[in-house]
Amino acid sequence: MSAWHTVGLYALTALAEILGCYLPWLWLRQDKSAWLLLPAALALAAFVWLLTLHPAASGRVYAAYGGVYVCMALIWLWVVDGVRPTVWDGVGGAVALAGMAIIAFAPRGA
């Protein structure tokens, strides 16, 4: 699997998780329809399924995924919540992505 394919899969996985958590938040905090729980459950099921598509050991996938999740959450903050991330948000996201890259792409002995 190429590095871009891996990062894209992590990003899609993060998007599914964020959506699966955001929709119930709308229901609980903004008095939106309880019907949002149905697509939320589907998004969380997709999140779990997408995690299984990563070829690495599950613990390594979860660890590396965390870095991509941080960056996707910052993008969500900007695009959906309408809050522009700060320079420090960007620095933190870059550090999280660097950690993800080290975990996901470091050479491993056979």
pLDDT at 43: 98
pLDDT less than 50: residues of the chain: none
Query: HSE of 73 in the Cβ direction (CA atoms, 13 Å)?
Result: 17
- Give, in order, the Cα–Cα distances in Å from 91 to each of 26, 83, 87: 29, 16, 6
Instruction: Say what the pTM is.
Output: 0.86
**3-state SS assignment for residue 34:** helix
pLDDT at 110: 62
* Cα three-residue angle 64-76-84, rounded to 5 degrees: 115
Query: HSE of 102 in the Cβ direction (CA atoms, 13 Å)?
Result: 7
pLDDT at 2: 84
pLDDT at 69: 93
